[in-house]
Amino acid sequence: MTEQKIPKATAKRLPIYYRYLNILKDADKTRVSSTELSDAVKVDSATIRRDFSYFGALGKRGYGYDVESLLKFFKKILNQDKLTNAALIGVGNLGNALLNFNFHQNSNVRISAAFDVRPDLANTVQSGVPIYPMAELRKQLEDQQIKIVILTVPSSVAQDVTDEAIAGGVRGILNFTSLRLSVPKDVRVQNVDLTNELQTLIYFLDHYNDED
Amino acid sequence: MTEQKIPKATAKRLPIYYRYLNILKDADKTRVSSTELSDAVKVDSATIRRDFSYFGALGKRGYGYDVESLLKFFKKILNQDKLTNAALIGVGNLGNALLNFNFHQNSNVRISAAFDVRPDLANTVQSGVPIYPMAELRKQLEDQQIKIVILTVPSSVAQDVTDEAIAGGVRGILNFTSLRLSVPKDVRVQNVDLTNELQTLIYFLDHYNDED
DNA sequence: TTTTTATTGAAAATTATTTCACAAAATAGC
DNA sequence: GCTATTTTGTGAAATAATTTTCAATAAAAA
Ligand SMILES: NC(=O)c1ccc[n+]([C@@H]2O[C@H](COP(=O)([O-])OP(=O)(O)OC[C@H]3O[C@@H](n4cnc5c(N)ncnc54)[C@H](O)[C@@H]3O)[C@@H](O)[C@H]2O)c1
Ligand SMILES: NC(=O)c1ccc[n+]([C@@H]2O[C@H](COP(=O)([O-])OP(=O)(O)OC[C@H]3O[C@@H](n4cnc5c(N)ncnc54)[C@H](O)[C@@H]3O)[C@@H](O)[C@H]2O)c1
């Protein structure tokens, strides 16, 4: 499955490139240079060239990169040529905002099922997504072959819910809770910790004056 | 302002440590070892010790770290001993979820003002936070001395809104839009790009089987 | 056609971060 | 008080990521 492993730092930048290439395509641009890309995505141009070079020689010297073919390449690499279904667990404040958001607009991901303990939410539909009771979590994940979960439950129940989701076959978790989840090593957790982000921002403001 | 610069990677972990120390304190634990912390926050214990050591010798050999004094230390470092006001711009889907969320519960940050173009939102109060029309952005930021902005407007207007906020004295931006903002070098942007996070998660699942 | 200019790709150098491994110090048990 | 045990703090090594540099090549201009 793994061709040749690219650096994690590079992998995290791929979606950024991908998005900007889509914008270029929509604007009918046919070519782009690493410097131009650099301006738009705020990544050093040498880093961009280095990133791209892990996948082979994608550009042409003296010319730059062809938008169309680069886009096609990244679409495949990022699995954006097929639809990925995800489940959302915890239809509260944040969960609702995510349900309403159309991820499918600029990525080939959609939330195809949601879950919550609240009895009044069970078996309703929010923004076109059916909400199931927690009792059905495992079954639905299995039936729908869902491998990715967005976790927006209270931190206090996050580990339990996670264990259940993994039992249902989940392989990746986008974790919005403040808990650092314990998972088997073949399950990947991506933490999005908004309180942390704010605190980090404050720390940087106080301790790193301008430079970087 | 900058004592001695600690690695950025370390800085990003400080809020994680801080949160867990609060949990320990609430549970009346008086001591903690780097291994125990490691289990909870999923950071290698050697990394934790190294991180702490940038601030001097905070622990005691054969004993570990004193929860209370470590907590007090990090509270100061992270500026959590004083209240930080932030503004939120764009009271839509996501903006509303953030407004409702009580950041103040586990961090000394609160959203003290919100802004939106929608005339029906102007001069109302949501979750205790006054919403102002955009025309007042600059004045309110200046009057309230707000240095931090949470940006949840559509990407298409993100740069314009940013420019205006910076003119109002803002120094840090938590950017939820998909646009990579252009800012003067003394302004810091922390990007939270949820579509990216999902795509990165998918990439890792497809290309990095278990290991790391 | 020749020259100039633009731009990549890759090697090398640099910088940043993590991990190993262990002496030093403190505690805990007896 | 002595010994075994625990656990820190940190040099040194390993690993990861970024940046510099420049030869090679393509395109554009002369
Ligand atoms: N809202 C924010 O802006 C924000 C910001 C930072 C962090 N977070 C984190 O995101 C998570 C969700 O936040 P929120 O504000 O949406 O909270 P919320 O309380 O509004 O929503 C949580 C939802 O989870 C459901 N739930 C509770 N227990 C459950 C269970 N066992 N199984 C399934 N569903 C269950 C609740 O019924 C509720 O609908 C929390 O962990 C919070 O710390 C939220
Ligand atoms: N909602 C999500 O889950 C989600 C997920 C990923 C990214 N995002 C990003 O977050 C941002 C907000 O998303 P959303 O779903 O809340 O959108 P939204 O459309 O629900 O909210 C945007 C708000 O901004 C206001 N607005 C528009 N122009 C403005 C201006 N010039 N000045 C001030 N306010 C203005 C609108 O009135 C609206 O209330 C977008 O950039 C979106 O791409 C959202």
Q: What is the CATH number of the domain that holds A20?
A: 1.10.10.10
Question: What amino acid is encoded at B173 in this protein?
Answer: I
For chain A, 212 residues long, the average pLDDT of each consecutive 10-residue run is 76 97 94 95 96 92 93 94 96 96 89 97 95 97 97 98 98 97 95 96 89 66
- Tell me the chain A residues in contact with residue B204 when contact means C-beta distances shorter than 8 Å: 11, 172, 188, 190
Which residue approaches D17 most closely, CA to C1'?
Answer: A9
CA triple B71-B72-B74, angle to 5 deg? 65
**According to the model, what pLDDT value does residue B151 have?**
98
Specify whether the CB–CB gap between B85 and B110 falls below 8 A: yes
Residue B37 included in any domain: yes
**According to the model, what pLDDT value does residue B1 have?**
36
B173 in the same domain as B89 = yes
Residue A202 included in any domain: no
**According to the model, what pLDDT value does residue A211 have?**
67
Residue B16 included in any domain: yes
What three-state secondary structure class fits A84? strand
Report how far residue B47's alpha carbon sits from residue B29's, in angstroms, rounded to the nearest whole number.
22
Q: Give nearest CA residue, ligand 2 atom 12.
A: B152
Separation in Å, CA of B80 to nearest CA in chain A: 9
How large is the average pLDDT for residues B149-165?
A: 98
Cβ B5–A147 below 8 Å, yes or no?
Answer: no
Domain count, chain B: 2
B109 is in which domain, residue-wise?
Answer: 84-196
Determine phi and psi for A37, rounding to 5 degrees: -60, -45
Residue B159 included in any domain: yes
Report how far residue B118's alpha carbon sits from residue B114's, in angstroms, rounded to the nearest whole number.
12
Of A47, A77, A107, the residue at which a domain comes to its end is A77
A66 in the same domain as A125 = no
B119 in the same domain as B90 = yes
Nucleotides of strand C lying closer than 7 angstroms to a protein CB = 5-11, 16-21, 24-28
- At B165, which CATH number? 3.40.50.720
Residue B112 included in any domain: yes
B95 in the same domain as B14 = no
Could you tell me which chain A residue has the CA closest to the CA of B197?
A: A190
A132 in the same domain as A42 = no
B101 in the same domain as B65 = no
Could you tell me which chain A residue has the CA closest to the CA of B207?
A: A2
Of A31, A47, A77, the residue at which a domain comes to its end is A77
B53 in the same domain as B95 = no
In the numeric block, the tokens 């004056």 are attached to A209
What three-state secondary structure class fits A54? coil
Which residue approaches C7 most closely, CA to C1'?
Answer: A62
Question: Considering the entire predicted model, what is its pTM?
Answer: 0.95
Question: How many Cβ atoms from other residues are within 10 Å of residue A30's Cβ?
Answer: 11
Residue A90 included in any domain: yes
Task: Tell me: pLDDT of B3 over 90.
Answer: no
**According to the model, what pLDDT value does residue B76 have?**
94
B116 in the same domain as B20 = no
B93 in the same domain as B28 = no
B70 in the same domain as B137 = no
**According to the model, what pLDDT value does residue A57 have?**
86
How large is the average pLDDT for residues B21-32?
A: 95
Specify whether the CB–CB gap between A125 and A131 falls below 8 A: yes
A95 in the same domain as A59 = no
Report how far residue B88's alpha carbon sits from residue B116's, in angstroms, rounded to the nearest whole number.
9
Residue A209 included in any domain: no
What's the A133 CA to ligand 1 centre distance in angstroms?
15
Specify whether the CB–CB gap between A127 and A154 falls below 8 A: no
B169 in the same domain as B130 = yes
Interface residues 3-62 of A with strand D (CB < 7 Å): 7-10, 44, 46-47, 50, 60-62
Residue B125 included in any domain: yes
